[in-house]
Each structure stands twice: as structure tokens, then as C-alpha cells.
Amino acid sequence: MPQALMKKMKTLLGCIIIVLVFIILPTFAQEEPEPKRKYREITIAGPLVETKPPFAFGPTVKTLRNVTEQIDRIGKDDEITGVLLKIQGLGVGWAKLQEIRDKIIQLRDNGKQVISYLQSGGNAEYLLACATDRIVLMPAGTIGLTGLRAEVMFYKGLFEKLDIEADMLAIGKYKSAVEPYTRDSMSDAQREAIDAILDDLYEQQVQMIADGRSEIDVEMAVSLIDQGPFTAEEAYDAKLVDALQYYDELVKSIEADGPEPIEVISDSAKKPRQAPNLTGFAGFMRLFSMLTSPKQSPTRRGKPQIALIYATGPIMTNVPNDLFTTGQAITPRKLTKALREARENNAIRAVVMRVESPGGSALASDLIWREVMLTQREKPVVVSMSDVAGSGGYYIAMAAGTIVAEPGTITGSIGVLGGKLNLKGLYNKVGLTKEIITRGKNANLYSDYGNFTPAERERVGKMMETTYWDFVRKAAKGRHKTEAEIHEIAQGRIWTGKQAKEIGLVDELGGLDVAIALAKKRIGLSAGDDVDIIELPKPKTFFEILIEDMDIDARVQITQSLSIPVSLARSLPNLYWIQLLAQEPVAVVLPFNVTIR
């Protein structure tokens, strides 16, 4: 090789080496990134529903499972040091509250620090905060810690002014759902039942505070509840909160607690979703795909499958799907389809049915009970009760092999009611009259233009007795008790989940995770084994729901006979079942609702 060429090659090689040195050397010289403690910010606010409506326009609605799964993911993330939990205006019942509390406690057990931040808080917000390591309150905030209150609105006086008569019947000493329309004060039985519920929930409230606050015992918690509500300074002095800080001050104080700086990963830091471009032909095709392709979670080949079926809302024979609202209802049509699919799909090995319902139609409840019973014969069925699963809500659950409820769940109420509103006086008052021509002795049974005749009352009473004892008999079979034992704890009485477990109406205490773990156990798996959770019924497309709505609307318009608008029936407590009684003689409905204020 010529010497000149050798020289040029050596020069070129030297240049390459110099360039590489300048490129590579800085990478060795770079310092390791400064370690940071990562805190995940979670906001829990407003109502938490069990399932989202297929198409809801307006503010985003979170489900309970959205929140619990988010907490689970954080628990498994080794990079996360802790959680900043913002709690604002909770709209949940006792069971949902306890389910989230259990998740927070589990998160702490996994080594994550959890700090709650309250701008202000009432009973629900404070009880949730008590599950965290520290409670921080805004300096101008308040802690509305008070006792529990039960209210029953009585309509008898209003009905008298309007010339409306409530002709109601109930089977069961404690089946007091009819009392607001026939009395102006509580019966002794209703007062007894409410007192028992409040006593148990109050004990749970006190225990949650004492368990969460190391410096407050049960006696102090009782005393503090009697002193509430509290200003920020009073709450701090009483050891109800650990610090009074604005949120930015809280973040700075956490940073000062450790050697490394912190990084707060907030919900607001997530990349906002871009609205799809729906203009032009391509946009039209994109919209068409959105409306005709339901979202489904992918399944994994070889993984055991457990069906998760939601039964949420009042139980009715047929109702519209409420396309543009969050309203929901349980119908035999919907639940039967889901249960049959779970039963007939060999890949699905167990069923978990999540129930949140105050009851409703006795006929619809029995149809659903039958499908649950048939499914239980072939595959394990575990029921997970949410805030409320009483009367018809208990009816559809009692055929399951296992029933799980939170301590604060409202359940039981094994009893029935019937009756109607006589609107003749109101019609006459406003100048309306009716002439009725009948064929048959009891043809006026469902007329709103008169009370029951003795013969009609006898027939309705007989049907109610039959339904009640059928309810009792099926509960006895499902709970492995005698009819006499069930009758003793039935008679329309409601119980907390804690009380229901003590008397045998419930098997285990816990939330949806406990129910899923029990379902795994029933099919020979351990609680930690991975499974696919398949939600049924499968999501429908927009057009499928629209067509179904039209079909149901047509049939509902033909069958409705009582002149109470559906919107009014849904807006007043327990009034929807009066609308129901215009179509069938017997209902299985809770006597009252229990909410946390």
C-alpha cells in the first residue's frame, strides 16, 4: 500500500476516534439523575356509580371500580412512594365508602404513604380520610363531623289536602314503605327498625374514627361527634386532623420531610384526550364506527374467566334504557340474557353478580331469581352487595351460593306490599270526572277512581300472602334454614350487612374483591391467581340501544294506567313503586333509604 494512502487512512482513523471521544465521553461524564420520591395524586369526588350508562353526555361519571382499580395499580407500582388523596363532596353510601377505605388500608399495608387532603369534609369525607396515614385540612375549612340522622317524609297530610286516598297493604310487621302514605308519624315497628340500623351504623362510624386516629379512642370519638361540627383550628386541637395547610404547603412539607425532592403525578397532568375529527366523509365513517362498535375488554387465551354481572337500580318488568341519563333499572330481560350467557359459555367458570337495588317488582324479581338459581346449579354464583340490596334486591341474590356484603350495606327486608292511590277526590277537585263501565266483579281493581272493595282487598291480600311465603320459602332454601327461622328475621325488616351476617342472611363481609376471591376459590384457584373478568351483558352499540328503547317505549305506553308521570315517580323517594303497582298487585321494596350526610 502506498505510504501516502497509509498516511491518509491514519489521519481519517484519528479523526473518527476524536469524534467518538467527543460523543461518548459526555455520556460517561453525565451525572446520574437525581432520585425523586414520586407521589400519585388521586381525587375522589362526587357520586361513584356501579356502571356507566352506555352513552352519557355531560360531566364524566366515575365508577367505584375505576377508583379501586386505580388504587390497586398504585399498590403494585414500585416507583410510587405515596399517594396524595384529595377528597371532595363524596356521593356514596356506606358500603362504597367502606370498600374504598379497605383499598386505602391495603395500599398502606403495601408500604405506600397515604395523605388525605380536605378543603372541607362532612361525615363521609372524614370517615374516608380516617383510613389514611395523615389528614390535612385547608386552614379555612371545616370538619362537619356529626351524628347520624334518619328522616322519613309523611305524605298523609298532603294527600288529605289534595283529596287523595292511599289504599295500601303490607305483609310483615316491619314492611313500612306504605306508612308515609297512610300515617303522619312512625309506627313503633318502623321506629324500632330505624333505631337498630342507626345504632349499628353509628357504632361503625365511631369505630372507623377510633381505628384511624391513634390519639382518639372510642369514648373520645363519641364525645367529639357530640361536639361537631368543627372549625379548622378546633379540628386540629381535637386531634381530628394532623395539619392545617393549603395544598401547595402540604407538597412543600412532604419535600422537607425527606432527603430527596418529590414529584407529584397528578390527574390534571394526564395528556388530555383529543376530540376525534368527525368532519368530511372520513369523519362520518369514524362516527359510524364509534356508534356501531361497542367497547370490549380483550380476553386472554387460556386464562380462567369469571363473569361480572351488574344488577343496578329498581327492579321492573320493562323500562327504557335512559340513553342520555345515568338512570338505570334491573329487568328480567337484561339479567336473564347475561346469566344465560354466563351459564352456557364453557370458558366462564364462575359468576359474580354485583347488586345495588332497593327492590321493585315481585314478578320481575322472581324471574331473575330463577335464572340465578339455574346458574348456581351449573357454576358457582357469588353475590356482591353494594350500598343497598334489600327486598327485591335480596330476592334476586338469595339463590346464589355465597353472598358478600360490606358491614354498612342495607339488606334484608324480606316482605311485600301492595295497594294504590285513589285520585277520585283530586280529579273532582280540579273539575275532572270519570264514568266507568265494567264487566267482572273485580274489574276496578287497578282503577285510580276508588278504593278497593272488600272483595278486591281480599284478593290483593291473598296474592301478597302467597308472594310473601314464597319469598320466605326460597330464602330458607337458599340460606339453609327453616321457614320459621327466616320468618323470624323477615317480616319486612332491614338489616345492616354486619347484622345480616350475624343472622345468616349474608355469608362474608367485604367488597367486590372479596366476592371475586371467593369465586376463584370455588373453582379451585387462589385469591392471587390471574383471571379474566368478563362484564355481562356485553356492551351494545348506540343503534342497538336506540332500537331497543323504541320497542320498550311502545310497550310501556300501552301498559301504563296510573296517571303518575315516570319522571315524578323517579324524583320522589319510594314513589316509583306506586307507579309499579298500577301494573301488578305486589311489590318487594325497601321501606326507606339510608344515606350518609
Spacing of C-alpha 363 from chain mean position:
24
- Residue 298, C-alpha cell as written in the block: 380483550
96-123 burial code (b ≥16 CB/10 A, e <16): bbbbbbbbbebbbeeebbbbbbbbbbbb
How does the average pLDDT of the chain come out, rounded? Answer: 83
- Residue 345, C-alpha cell as written in the block: 359459555
Give the model's pLDDT for residue 255: 86
Pairing of strands 359-361, 416-422: unpaired
* For residue 495, pLDDT beyond 80: yes
pLDDT range class, residue 318, cuts 50, 70, 90: confident
Q: Please answer whether residues 309 and 354 qualify as being in contact, where contact means their C-beta atoms are separated by less than 8 angstroms.
A: yes
Domains of the chain: which residue ranges? 37-146+228-269, 300-589
The β-bridge partners of 87 are 44, 118
Mean predicted confidence (pLDDT) in 139-156: 91
- For domain 300-589, give the fold: 2-enoyl-CoA Hydratase; Chain A, domain 1 (3.90.226)
Give the model's pLDDT for residue 561: 30
Q: Please answer whether residues 392 and 315 qualify as being in contact, where contact means their C-beta atoms are separated by less than 8 angstroms.
A: yes
Intrachain domains 37-146+228-269 and 300-589 with the same fold: yes
pLDDT range class, residue 20, cuts 50, 70, 90: low
The β-bridge partners of 218 are none
For the stretch 391-413, pLDDT in tens is: 999 999 999 999 999 999 999 99
* For residue 566, pLDDT beyond 60: no
pLDDT range class, residue 547, cuts 50, 70, 90: very low
Residue predicted with more confidence, 32 or 163: 163
Cα of first residue to Cα of last residue in the chain, in angstroms, is 94
For the stretch 121-144, pLDDT in tens is: 999 999 999 999 999 999 999 999
Give the model's pLDDT for residue 551: 41
* Rounded Cα distance, 512 and 102, in Å: 11
Known catalytic membership, residue 447? no
Mean predicted confidence (pLDDT) in 548-573: 36
Give the model's pLDDT for residue 25: 46
* Rounded Cα distance, 366 and 175, in Å: 19
Query: Three-state SS for 32?
Result: coil
* Rounded Cα distance, 122 and 586, in Å: 39
Q: Please answer whether residues 82 and 70 qualify as being in contact, where contact means their C-beta atoms are separated by less than 8 angstroms.
A: no
Q: Please answer whether residues 170 and 178 qualify as being in contact, where contact means their C-beta atoms are separated by less than 8 angstroms.
A: yes
pTM for the structure as a whole: 0.83
Query: Three-state SS for 559?
Result: helix
Yes or no: is domain 37-146+228-269 CATH 3.90.226.10? Answer: yes
For the stretch 423-452, pLDDT in tens is: 999 999 999 999 999 888 888 888 889 999
Give the model's pLDDT for residue 381: 98
The catalytic residue among 386, 391, 413, 447 is 391
Residue predicted with more confidence, 28 or 398: 398
* For residue 378, pLDDT beyond 50: yes
